[in-house]
Structure 1
Amino acid sequence: MSNRFRASVAGVAVVAGLSMLTACSSTASTADGAAEPDFPTKDITMVVPYAAGGPTDIAARALAKGMEETLETTIIVENKPGASGITGLSELSSKKNDGYTITFTPGDAFVQSELRTAPYTFDSFDPVAGIMTQPYIVVTSKDSGIKEFDDLLSGDRFTYSVSGIGTPPHINAAILGDDLGANFAVVPFDGAGPATQAAVGNNVSFAMLDASGVMPFIESGDLLPLAVLTSNGERLDYLPEVPTLNELDVDVDDMTLTIYGVATVAGTDEAVIEVLREAALEATTSKTFADFAEQNYAPMLDEETEATWYDSLKATAKTTVAALKKFGIELQ
């Protein structure tokens, strides 16, 4: 973690402490002059809107463990999978706004409210903390004959695999082709695994997929990285020689990144949110969570991106809706 981000955590701790001090000074006191108990005073439930055992669930449990140490309470992780995250966030939105029910999720679950029928909107939640991101990497097979990103501008007809119709990789690759004026044709698969294997097997020209899925094949030499899409436009520490799409003058403003964050029910007291925020950010410095992030090639958000993560998701929702309409993509 960068010194900048550690400094942010420390600053949050100071703000949280001042907020709680102010709150305590304004609450009623007991007979002996002691203030009312601070938050939390009971277990917290963390709703994960995806299945147990998946990467989101594993990350959530690592984060919860770290938060427990700061909050000195138990965090119960509940998996509520279904409908691309809608089931879990619907559950959260119905809870009391007292800070005792939170979520850890990739931002796509929030964005779904703009794409499908859902009983919640962005305004149903208060953001607590942005945590990490999952970069996308443009890759090609070692046998494809494509050696660098500029080869995609040759005018040839290229195919690309995606992890499903209307998924962020699909939309991103469609935007990429449109920006480059290139002749790209989509080949959809049911999941990131098959889409990655199609690229490895040279059954498609290239793919633009999550770093966690393609990095093992890059490290083995089966896939060649051509470019990366990151949250801050900077190169990845583990692929320092690979240029970002920003460097390659690609317009990435409308592209989507997977950003993971913690949120709670709208209307939660700001002092409670600050306590949760301090705990969440501090938890990212734990060895358990740091090991998970490293093993899954998921960088922590830098200070600037962390501060604006929820607003970024709102913007993503609007650009996603526009892209679906522009490219005639129908969600399945």
Structure 2
Amino acid sequence: MKKNIIRWAAALGSLTLATTLAACGGSSSAGGADADFPTRDITMLVPYAAGGPTDISARALATEMEKELDTTVIVENRPGASGITGLSEAASAKADGYTMVFSTDDSFVQSVKRTTPYSFESFDAVGGVFTQPYLIVVPSSSEITNVEGLRKAGKLNYAVTGWANPTHVNQAAIFGDLGLDATAIPFDGAAPAAQAMIGGQTDVAMLDAQAVMPYIKNDDLRVLAVLTADGERLDYLPDAPTFEEAGLPVDNQTLTMYGIAVPTGTDEAIVSTLKEATNTARVSESFTKLSEDNYMPLLSEEDAANWYTLLQEKSASTVQVMKQYNITVE
């Protein structure tokens, strides 16, 4: 009888503790993490405007993640200051897994280019998703037909899709290594940059595949070389040589990758849950089709897992090139 009383008392105590925790919104899991995560909607911040490639990709990825997480993933746009506005909000959010950010790497790299409210240490990586190949292109009417012709150009004007962004820093490194007298002409995005080349205002540009492929298909622009994550030719441009094949430098080049991160300090179990959902969503049939339709290959499993580390390693090269070619930002 005494043993039964002890067991009943212990059970009552456990029930009372569980009830108290539930009433207070707490959890008995390590670090105070929600053992049943997620139990409510998750917000995915996108530090760019609605309708762009980052936003469209985020919404497609969120739809697939909802199936894995069994909850709603709400995409909210926070454009401004080259992604700094959105990442600042994400970095200051509560580290509970209910706020994550989906972005290109340039938003994170802003923290080494200038003073920002966040740093690489402000986030824990969830996982990489896909990459944005870069293409070096010239007008179809140009006398430059290959990289060798580019080497002999001597002097040229090159279009960039934003001051001190990857297309600017990358091209400064390329043309500097080739010993060319090259002047950067900034434009507000890839479309105006492409149109400027077609109109004869600039000679060459490095542009992302998603934006420039329509001009290539219309025979308005010619591809000289492609920069890819795996160093392999692109399936949709099988005749275009890679940087490696064309003898162009790759060590000081930054390749745009898209990925998800959460505020640093998020419980490891929650990060693991988000990682599994991200990995499953990104290789889903619908998201794979989206990546193919937009000329943005999925990252390999290894690169997806190491996305944030690769990003940090490349940021050092970005800073070095900016210093070498006196590219400054306010």
TM-score band by shorter chain is 0.7 to 0.9
Q: Distance in 2 between matches of 1:158 and 1:304?
A: 38
CA distance 1:118–1:295, change in 2 (3 Å): same
Match of 2:259 in 1: 261
Counterpart residue identity of residue 75, structure 1: V
Q: Distance in 1 between matches of 2:35 and 2:211?
A: 45
Report if aligned partners of 2:191, 2:212 keep a CA contact under 8 Å in 1: no
Q: Distance in 2 between matches of 1:241 and 1:202?
A: 25
Which runs of structure 2 are paired with 1:184-199 in the superposition (5 Å)?
184-199=182-197
Match of 2:166 in 1: 168
Q: Distance in 2 between matches of 1:50 and 1:202?
A: 30
Report if aligned partners of 1:143, 1:202 keep a CA contact under 8 Å in 2: no
Match of 1:88 in 2: 86
* Percent identity of equivalent pairs: 51
Report if aligned partners of 1:232, 1:305 keep a CA contact under 8 Å in 2: no
Q: Distance in 2 between matches of 1:149 and 1:280?
A: 38
Q: TM-score, normalised by structure 2?
A: 0.87
Shift, 1:140, TM fit: 0.8
Shift, 1:277, TM fit: 0.8
User: Is residue 295 from structure 1 mapped to residue 297 from structure 2 by the alignment?
Assistant: no
Counterpart residue identity of residue 132, structure 1: F
Match of 1:181 in 2: 179
Shift, 1:275, TM fit: 1.0
Of stretches 284-293 and 83-92 in structure 1, the one that deviates more from structure 2 is 284-293
**Number of residues paired by the alignment?**
303
Which runs of structure 2 are paired with 1:6-21 in the superposition (5 Å)?
none
Report if aligned partners of 1:144, 1:202 keep a CA contact under 8 Å in 2: no
Q: Distance in 1 between matches of 2:35 and 2:276?
A: 18
Match of 2:137 among 133, 136, 139: 139
User: Is residue 158 from structure 1 mapped to residue 156 from structure 2 by the alignment?
Assistant: yes
Match of 1:250 among 244, 248, 255: 248
Match of 1:220 among 218, 221, 224: 218
Which runs of structure 2 are paired with 1:265-284 in the superposition (5 Å)?
265-284=263-282
Match of 1:9 in 2: none
Of stretches 181-190 and 207-216 in structure 1, the one that deviates more from structure 2 is 181-190
Q: Distance in 2 between matches of 1:331 and 1:179?
A: 22
Q: Distance in 2 between matches of 1:321 and 1:302?
A: 26
Match of 2:97 among 96, 99, 102: 99
Match of 1:75 in 2: 73
Give 1 or 2 for the bigger CA radius of gyration. Answer: 2
Which residues of structure 2 form unaligned runs of 5+?
1-14, 20-28
Shift, 1:288, TM fit: 3.2
SS in 2 for 1:185: strand
Q: Distance in 1 between matches of 2:237 and 2:135?
A: 10
Match of 1:234 among 214, 232, 235: 232
Match of 2:39 in 1: 41
Counterpart residue identity of residue 331, structure 1: V
Report if aligned partners of 1:47, 1:80 keep a CA contact under 8 Å in 2: yes
Shift, 1:206, TM fit: 1.2
